Amino acid sequence: MLRRLLTAILKPSPFKVGLLATLAVLLLCRYGLKTGINENLRKIDILIQDELFKARGPLPLAEGQTRREAVVIDIDEKSLAVYGQWPWPRDLVAKLLAKVDEAKPKAIGLDLVFAEPDRSSPKNVLKRVMLEQLAEATVPEEPPLSEPDDLLESLKKILDQGTDLLAQDLAVQDYDQMLAEVVENSPRIVLGYFFLYDDDGLRDQDVVPYGGGFGFSRTDKSMPGSPFEGRIPYRPVLNIPILDDAAEDRCGCFSTSFDDSGKVRKVPLVWEFEGNPYPLLALQMLRVGLGRVSGTVDIGPNGVSGLRVGKEIQIPTDVIGQFYVNFRGPQKTFEYYSAADVLTDQIAPEVFKDRYVLLGTSAGGLRDLRATPFEDDCPGVEVHANVIDNILVGDFIKEPVWLHGVEQFAIIIIGLLLAVVVAYFRPLTGGLVTLVVLLAIPLVNYILMFPSIRNGYIVSTAYPLLTVFLVFAPVMLLNYFFEGRKKRFIKNAFSTYLSKEVVDQLVNAPDKLSLKGEERELTVLFSDIRSFTSISEKLSAEGLANFLNEYLTPMADLVMATQGCVDKFIGDAVVAFWGAPMADPAHARHAAQSSLRMIAALNEMQPEWEARGLPQIKIGIGLNTGMMRVGNMGSTTRFDYTVMGDNVNLGSRLENLNKTYGTSIIVSVATRQALGEEFYCRVLDKVRVKGKQEPVKIYELICEGEPPAEVRAEVTAFEAAFADYQAQRFAEAQKKLLAVQKESPKLLHKIYLSRIDAFLETPPAKDWDGVYTFTSK
């Protein structure tokens, strides 16, 4: 009994295969991170999340908002054209900040750093010249310095008066001092700085940057090490000391990290440097805007659990302090004002009152553009604007640890559902349920990510999608295998039919009833209905017989109308050939015409079938030309007039390849050459089919005569990409295929893009001959 139980358990079945596939995905989800297997799945998740952002589009103002609280003063191309290239003299920056400060904004954040003294400051200009000339200068007694007419005359007179008078005169014209005074006198200005992660040999161990008003709060004192391990910077790049001293704790880091794809999706709200937390510029602006309240970084047993700004604002982060930005939209979602317009009083100061003002640049030459889920050239300053608005509105996108358990539960539910439905229900039902699940997964992700309530959640889409494919494909394939006996029964019922031409010839020449046969150059056709199993299950036995008769009758008539011979019907399949028993020099042309007419006739029958509630079908056709053995073959009492040989088998293989390439008619290179220029074909591939060692070039038969212009353009573009693919110019081929796929999506393009991706990751051998080998029929 135990043996029978084990046999029953181990006996393969579609449902058990579905369960095994679900278990495999579940283990991958749980342990994939430790082995690195899930990296590609993570990339898929990220790409899907980007598409969800684009599907959502720009966010409207939140309830109760009349405007966005963050606004950008832009050092744009217009400003650079008016005031010259960056960096500007610091007295001009001081003037700009003073004008904005008069409007009493909540905070003014600078998405830039002044790491060196202002070289354009008169003090520094004259000092450099003085140092170059003092060694040779003499100081005669002359009257005090009068107003200079030009720079050279001023230098001469200054040198004549001595260093004391020089220092006194220069102190009045120190642009760095002017900017420092504006920063010191305004409690709203937040200076920016950034961190370097690479060792540049310039770290000063005695210099510790400003703390910025934040501290750590550990709820689990036993947590070893730092939650920021692997993300601790090498050194900060700070403002010059005179500006540092003026700002005190009003400084924030404007570095925004990006992931492996080069896009900004998360930003570090806080960095750890020498044991202290240092906040992002946007976070520091919020702290200053709330009255320079204290900030706290909460650290729990798993790492950073969130941040607090004063008592009013709590911000969720991941375990290393990163904040997932709920981007409001593409660039210019926030208000932008040109710095030139602010300096020339063309902007009313009231627009800045009680708002968070960011000073940054959108000019491409200043290289502060960032890629976001919406676009690849968003000004970096707008990332900070998004963070500020996100925190103020409170519509966060969270990634709590417990969501991993929800993802695993979803994998189990999806796997069990599909295993049951696909294994035990009709194929149509299984297909529809699978389609619904495929559509539901990104839809549920969208709802969770952008809910109508406050907080959204990031959940994995890749693992549930992987579950769908790994359960559906093998279960459906096994169902097809187990149900093959039904199709073989139908094939046996139709195998006795012969064409009228064969019957006539046999009546007129009984001596041809020979098993020997003869060698001839013929063209053979194989045709098959796609998804025949699902169609047969939807119809009764009588209904299926009637349906097959309605389909096969016109197909056979079209073969015979072009001087072809219907060899046999194998279930829903049609086997025919041209060139025998009667010689036909144009056998390839007649076979091609019959194939195109079969497709056209099928399309004409579909509306009537649909009106009667009958299924819609698609067929695939394979044509091959070559030497074949033709004659009466079988036993002495039962035989058929048929064809045999390798070229016949190749025709069968070509018919099956239509499923792979998403085509209707595939012809071999021999058939293509026999057709000449009367027919329009597309090169498909160079393949080695199962059972043959020699590769063969295959084509898609498209039409007789000239095709429409758009078809010719698409085919020409694909064949150019195919030429690059064959020559191992995979990057060029990929670029062309992406362009043609965008204009004319096809399964064929996807297949080559998938192959190219594999070859770009693992290039083929240098002697690769461009042949793709099929290991199954």
Show Cβ contacts of residue 513 under 8 Å, excluding neighbours closer than 6 positions: 506, 632, 639
> Six-digit token pair at 667?
């012809």
Going by C-alpha positions, the residue among 679, 582, 572 that lies closest to residue 623 is 679
Going by C-alpha positions, the residue among 119, 115, 242, 240 that lies closest to residue 182 is 242
User: At CA 57, angle to CA 52 and CA 60, rounded to 5?
Assistant: 130
What's the pLDDT score for residue 183?
Answer: 94
Where are the alpha helices (H) located in 11-89, listed in sequence order?
14-35, 39-56, 77-83
Strands in 613-695 per DSSP E: 619-634, 639-644, 665-668, 679-688
What's the pLDDT score for residue 135?
Answer: 44
DSSP letter at 263? B
Going by C-alpha positions, the residue among 407, 387, 391, 409 that lies closest to residue 399 is 407
Q: Can you give the length of the chain in residues?
A: 777
Give the max Cα distance, the chain.
139
CA distances from 624 to 395, 503, 524, 583, 649 (A): 63, 25, 6, 17, 9
Confidence (pTM): 0.58
Report d(CA 356, CA 389) in Å as an integer.
9
> Six-digit token pair at 654?
């070509």
| Beta pairing partners, 359 | 73, 110
What's the pLDDT score for residue 149?
Answer: 45
What's the pLDDT score for residue 210?
Answer: 56
Rg of the chain on CA atoms, in Å:
38
**90: part of which helix (H) or strand (E)?**
helix 90-102
Where are the alpha helices (H) located in 483-615, listed in sequence order?
484-494, 500-508, 532-538, 541-561, 587-611
Q: Is 35 exposed, middle or buried (CB count within 10 Å of its CB: 0-12, 13-18, 19+)?
A: exposed
**Does residue 588 contact residue 704 with C-beta atoms inside 8 Å?**
no
> Six-digit token pair at 314?
């709590």
What's the pLDDT score for residue 448?
Answer: 87
Q: Is 570 exposed, middle or buried (CB count within 10 Å of its CB: 0-12, 13-18, 19+)?
A: middle
pLDDT means over runs of 10, the chain (777 residues): 58 83 87 66 86 90 88 94 92 94 95 89 66 50 46 49 46 80 94 83 57 72 62 83 90 82 87 85 92 86 85 86 91 94 92 95 86 91 94 87 85 93 87 93 88 78 91 86 50 40 50 62 93 80 86 89 85 89 87 94 91 88 94 66 88 92 94 94 91 88 93 93 92 93 92 92 87 78
